[in-house]
Each structure stands twice: as structure tokens, then as C-alpha cells.
Amino acid sequence: MTLRVIEKGDLPGLVDALIAAEAPVVGPVRKGEKHVFGPLARAEDLSLDYVTTILPPKKYLFPQQETLLRFKAGPDPQAEPVFEAHPLTIIGLHPCDLRGIWALDRAFGDDHVDPHYSARRAATTLIGFDCLPDSYCFCTSVGSHLPEPGTYDLFFTDIGAAYTVEVGSERGRALMERHAHSREATGADLALLHERRKQKEALITAHLQADVQTLPLLFESVQKDPLWEELGAKCLSCGNCNLVCPTCYCFDVGDLMQLNLQDGQRIRQWDGCLLTDFATVSGGHNFRKKTESRLRHRYYRKFQYLMTKYGRSFCTGCGRCSRNCLAHINPPDTINALVAAGEKEGV
Amino acid sequence: MTAQAAPASLYLGQLATVTAVRPLTDKEKLFDLELPSGPLGHAPGQFVEVSVFGYGEAPISVTSSPTAPGPFQLCVRNVGTVTGALHRLEAGAKVGIRGPFGRGFPLERLRGRDILFVGGGLGLAPLRSLIHYAFDRRHEFGHLTILIGARTPSELLFRDEFETWERRHDVDVHVTVDRAEGDWSGHVGVITTLFPKVQLDPKTTAVVIVGPPVMYRFALAETFAKGVPGDHVYVSLERRMKCGVGKCGHCQMNGVYVCQKGPVFSYTEIADLEEALG
């Protein structure tokens, strides 16, 4: 990995150059008092002073609705796959959101490779920026607070008068060479980078009271903990947590027809395991009828099922579900109550 | 993106031709389907995703045995948009087929054993693929006993077919309905009331149970009362698989994707999965 440095004053020029050469470019932009990932027309649109966006960047790699097939219906049907991938550069991704994309890469890219996701992913350039947390962030507890090599093309960290730039891929190296005025990092830059990371860690106030890698084991013993019933009584089954989660990737598949009733598309769209009918089969039997069983299922996916399969937590600690839960249910409180219950039982 | 040949999609299957449609009851029809590429290549107990373009896609278990030459068969209950559209199709129509998916019945473990088949309602459809397989390779199996249950006589599936099974000397068939109607003179009662008629050796028998969610707990209790161990008891579980490739999340029970590890499981495999039998 190469570490480069660019002066702060040179960033707008770099962003404008990327917009000119690598369009379309998206990044965090203001929306009222919040931020969203949106298109950048010029460098000034980029608003790096943000904690988190309403929706995670998964909307670009796994859109809320996308076409899988185009078909002609009728007695002699014909169908062909559709790949909607276009080149895209995303600027301003925080480490937790890069971790979220890592998780989507595992889910869609491992085992049966999903070519619709993979085509989009291959056409996407990821440029990360380090962040400052708020009281909801708990990334340090799930190990997603640092940029992890292999998850970005470039990663920028504000070290005062300049940014360090970690070059994470050949694509990133080429972008730097083409568009940036940069210099090699010195020992002093590296010291500032480490200092800056320490400061960020010190600002995190929400923590899981257990090593995240022990949670799959803890979850073996807390399936019937009364906490689930308690949380189930509060949960509104609205699916907000699924919607804003950078690693929730469950989907529904259905057909959309044109008015001529001949041409149509098979589309997939986001679904959510908290929604009442997620596990209902034809005939009406619902395998997760109780709210608590659906809520518990989501936690088990993040901290046990997918974690056991892929080795790392599928919760990125971004805090989006905590910020958006109408019932104030949040992972740190939930996990910490389970940890306490586990300790009481001597797990 | 550079110009390159479009990769195949996991979500695009082949077009199959419906070669025959036969009504079985008011709600179920039997479809014969042919693929241009030849046999489906399935194992008994596997399922396919069936597309009626414009209506969508639904997971349906294959009801024919791979030992049968010619088309493969699906038994479809008309319960929703896709199955309703299927029911309106006639011979000659074309549907999309993806699959076969999942893990079927464990033929290696069943070979050489006596088998008790327990089929409730539409559960007879996937079970029939294994029953036919066992008939076609009769010498590979020991004693065969088949229990069939439906709510009413008019809802019994494959009635003409199992009446021929009843005439065979190498299989015991017992049929029941929850409620008698018309000229029904057979057994009346839920499927578990047939268990007292069954003589089996728990050391040499495998039990294969397929039925609606509510049936499993009761049928399993009767099976275990006869002393058959859990690793020789098999069930096929129903879920609404939207993708068939372990991604969409709909078929997950605890940490297990039914479309990948199932739909057939031994009881031992699911005993600790709270969500398995719902």
C-alpha cells in the first residue's frame, strides 16, 4: 500500500477533475439538516463534514429496485438478462460504509455469484474519507473504524493542512497519477495520521461490552432471553432498520408489465425481514409471525449467521438503525443487555 | 463497462413447453413439462422456480421421478398470482424453469431400508417423486408403506394412481380423510390416526414425512413413539424461495437457507432449529 499526501487546497481541483473525467461522480451532499449520497456537479457540492447519510451507499450497488430480466410475455415468451451497470465513482465513503460494501461483496459475490451486483461493483470506484463520529457510532466495537486495505481504491484522512491518501488498488493509483498533485508521505505525515485515528477512537462513546468475535457464541445461549419479547413489544415492524442498513440485502422478485401487456421486466426490490409477511408462504403460514422473532432474526443475521459464515460481523456500527428506529431500539443497548444476561448465566 | 458478452444471469432459466395439463382436484393440476435440453436432471425432492412471464415466479417441487422417461411433472395448487396463471395455461404453453435447486431425499441413506412415507395434503406431490423412484428401483428398498391424508375425499391427490398402488403386493397403502363426504367408505381421521395400522422395525426403517406445517409435530411424535431415530426421519420443508440461490433471505430458518441445505432435512439436522417447523 502506498501512502500519498495532497494539500487541502488541491482537493477541489481533484474532485473537479474526477467529475470531468470519471463522471458520474456521487458523494455526500446536504439534504436539509441531513446528508445523502447524491450526484456531484462540481467540487463545492461535496459536503465532507458529515457523520452519516440517510441511506447507505448500497443504493448504488444494489438499488432499491432493479431490472433482472426483460421479457415478452404471451404464448411464445422470450426473456433476456439485463445488466444495468454503469461506471460510477463514489467519493466520501466512511470506513463503516466501506465495510458495508465488503459485506455486500461477500453476500452477492461469494458462492453463487450474482452477475447483476458484480457488474455494478466492477464498474464502481470507491474513494473513502475518514470521519468524526457522533453518539450513535460504535464502529470501534465491530472493527470497522479503520479503512481496510482491499475495500477501497483511495482513502483520504484529514491530517490538518493536508490529506493522507492510502492507495488501495491499481485503479486508485491510476486516478492519483492522472488527476492529483500529490507527494510521498513523510514520517511526520504518518505520525499525524496515527494521532488523528487515536483522536477519532477517543470520540466514540457507544460501545459493545464484549469482543464482537465472541458474539456468535453468546448468541447460542440467548435465543430465549426475555429481552427479545420486551423489544418485540416495542418494535413497530416498520422495516426502517432494514431500509437504512448498509448490509441488509434481502430482496423480493416480481414482474412489471407495460400497458401493452406484452413487454415486461422482472425486477427485484429491497425487502425487509422485519416486515410482517417476510416469512409467509402461500397458504398463509407465517414462519416468523411474532414481531420478536423477526427482530431477533435480524440481530442473529448480523452477529451470528452471516458472521459465522464470513468471519466478520455484518453490523458495521454505523448507527443508522439506532438513529432511525421509532421505538429507540439500538444494537449497543440490545447487545449489552444480552452480554449482561449471558454473564449472569455464566456463559 | 467495456463491451463484453453479457454473462448469464442466475435469474434466467430455460423455456419449457407444457405438453399436458391434467386437473387432479378443484385446486390442483398436474403439468407435464419438456425442456429443449432434455431431462431436467433432478433428484427426487428437489424443486424448480417456475416463471409465467408477466405474473412472476414461484418455487414448485418436482413430483415426477428422474427414473421416469419423458417430461417432468409439477403438481401445482392454485393459491396465488403465479400458480393462478399456471392454472390458466394449456398444453403448448411455455414457461420459464430455473433449477433444479436444493437437496432432495438422501437416496444413499434410504437404499436398503424399509420406508414409511407420510404424505399430508399437497405434501404428497414432492413425496410422489420418491415413491415412484422406489417403485422403479424396487429391489433397492425393503418394505414400503405409504400413508396418505387429505382434508376431504375430493381433495385427495393422485387418487387413481394410489388406487393402483393399493393393488400392488409389495407395498402397504393407507388412506384417510379428515372429514368424510359423498360415498367415502374409507378411514376417517387426521393422518396420525393411521399410525396404529403400521408395523415397522425401527432399526431398519426410514420415515419420510411431507405435509403442511401443522402436520409435522404430530406426525413426528407418532414416528418417534415407534422408536425410529431422528437421523432416519426426513422432512421436506416449505418456504417461499424467491431466488433459489441463497440470497433473497426468504427461506432462511435460523441460520439455514432451505433452498441451499434443503428442502429435505433429517430430523436430527433441524431438531435444534427453533424456526424449522414454525
Q: What is the pLDDT of residues A204-235, one digit of tens each?
A: 999 999 999 999 999 999 999 999 999 999 99
A97 CA: distance to closest CA in chain B (Å): 20
Strands B14-23 and B28-34: antiparallel
pLDDT at A273 over 70: yes
Question: Looking at the structure, do residues A171 and A307 belong to the same domain, yes or no?
Answer: no
Task: State whether A282 and B55 contact (CB < 8 Å).
Answer: no
In terms of CATH architecture, what is B14-101? Beta Barrel (2.40)
Residue ending a domain, choose from A175, A203, A231: A203
Contact indicator for B50, B89 with CB cutoff of 8 Å: no
Whole-angstrom Cα distance, residue B30 to residue B186? 25
Backbone φ, ψ for residue B239 (5° rounding)? -145, 165
Task: State whether B250 and A68 contact (CB < 8 Å).
Answer: no
For each successive 10 residues of chain B (278 residues), what is the average pLDDT?
57 96 97 96 97 96 96 96 96 96 97 97 97 97 97 95 91 96 94 96 97 93 96 96 94 95 96 89
Nearest residue of B to residue A264 by CA position? B54
Confidence label for A347 from pLDDT (cuts 50, 70 and 90): low
B200 CA: distance to closest CA in chain A (Å): 32
Question: Looking at the structure, do residues A293 and A219 belong to the same domain, yes or no?
Answer: yes
Q: Across the A/B interface, how many CB contacts are shorter than 8 Å?
A: 143
Query: Which chain B residues are within 8 Å of A250, Cβ to Cβ?
Result: 248-250
Residue A335's nearest CA partner among A294, A304, A293, A290 is: A304
Question: Looking at the structure, do residues A28 and A165 belong to the same domain, yes or no?
Answer: yes
Query: Which chain B residues are within 8 Å of A76, Cβ to Cβ?
Result: 94
Nearest to B55 among A72, A122, A255 (CB): A255
Neighbour tally for B158: CB within 10 Å: 21
3-state secondary structure of A93: strand
Nearest residue of A to residue B54 by CA position? A255
DSSP letter string over A245-279?
Answer: -SS---EEEEEEE-TTSSEEEEEEEE--TTSTTTT
Task: State whether A250 and B213 contact (CB < 8 Å).
Answer: no
Contact indicator for A10, A33 with CB cutoff of 8 Å: no
Neighbour tally for B196: CB within 10 Å: 8
B106 CA: distance to closest CA in chain A (Å): 23
Contact indicator for B68, B44 with CB cutoff of 8 Å: no
Confidence label for A75 from pLDDT (cuts 50, 70 and 90): confident
Strands A124-129 and B14-23: unpaired
B150 CA: distance to closest CA in chain A (Å): 15
Domain segments of chain B as ranges: 14-101, 107-236
Residue A73's nearest CA partner among B113, B64, B141, B82 is: B82
Question: Looking at the structure, do residues A71 and A150 belong to the same domain, yes or no?
Answer: yes
3-state secondary structure of B190: coil
Nearest residue of B to residue A71 by CA position? B53
What length does chain A have? 347
Question: Looking at the structure, do residues A192 and A247 belong to the same domain, yes or no?
Answer: no
Question: Looking at the structure, do residues A157 and A259 belong to the same domain, yes or no?
Answer: no
Whole-angstrom Cα distance, residue B150 to residue B233? 21
Task: State whether A287 and B253 contact (CB < 8 Å).
Answer: yes
Query: Which chain A residues are within 8 Å of B95, Cβ to Cβ?
Result: 77
Query: Which chain A residues are within 8 Å of B278, Cβ to Cβ?
Result: 285-287
Confidence label for A1 from pLDDT (cuts 50, 70 and 90): low
Per DSSP, B88 falls in state T
Residue of B14, B53, B79 to mutate, interface with A, max A Cβ within 10 Å: B53
What total of structural domains would you count in chain A?
2
Question: Looking at the structure, do residues A23 and A162 belong to the same domain, yes or no?
Answer: yes
pLDDT of residue A282: 85
Residue A147's nearest CA partner among A82, A102, A111 is: A102
Task: State whether B248 and A251 contact (CB < 8 Å).
Answer: yes
Task: State whether B249 and A119 contact (CB < 8 Å).
Answer: no
pLDDT at A345 over 80: no
User: How many helices (H) does chain B have, and how many strands (E)?
Assistant: 7, 15
Nearest to B275 among A112, A114, A287 (CB): A287
Nearest to A75 among B77, B93, B248 (CB): B93
What length does chain B have? 278
Task: State whether A266 and B10 contact (CB < 8 Å).
Answer: no
Residue of A253, A263, A303, A306 to mutate, interface with B, max B Cβ within 10 Å: A253
Nearest to A253 among B6, B57, B246 (CB): B57
Question: Looking at the structure, do residues A164 and A45 belong to the same domain, yes or no?
Answer: yes
A168 CA: distance to closest CA in chain B (Å): 21
Nearest residue of B to residue A284 by CA position? B79
Residue ending a domain, choose from A159, A175, A203: A203
Task: State whether B253 and A281 contact (CB < 8 Å).
Answer: no
Task: State whether B11 and A223 contact (CB < 8 Å).
Answer: no
Question: Looking at the structure, do residues A237 and A141 belong to the same domain, yes or no?
Answer: no
B23 CA: distance to closest CA in chain A (Å): 19
Give the residue numbers spanning the domain of A39.
Answer: 2-203
Residue ending a domain, choose from A203, A221, A254: A203
Pick the CATH number of B107-236 from 3.40.50.80, 3.40.50.300, 1.10.3720.10, 2.40.50.140: 3.40.50.80
Question: Looking at the structure, do residues A221 and A157 belong to the same domain, yes or no?
Answer: no
Task: State whether A271 and B253 contact (CB < 8 Å).
Answer: no
Whole-angstrom Cα distance, residue B206 to residue B228? 7
A24 CA: distance to closest CA in chain B (Å): 13
Question: Looking at the structure, do residues A267 and A175 belong to the same domain, yes or no?
Answer: no
Which residues, in sequence order, are bridge partners of residue B177? B150, B188
Nearest to B245 among A81, A112, A293 (CB): A112
B87 CA: distance to closest CA in chain A (Å): 14
Task: State whether B213 and A83 contact (CB < 8 Å).
Answer: no
CA B102 → CA A19, B3, B137, distances in Å?
A: 46, 34, 23
Question: Looking at the structure, do residues A332 and A303 belong to the same domain, yes or no?
Answer: yes
The ipTM of this complex is 0.91
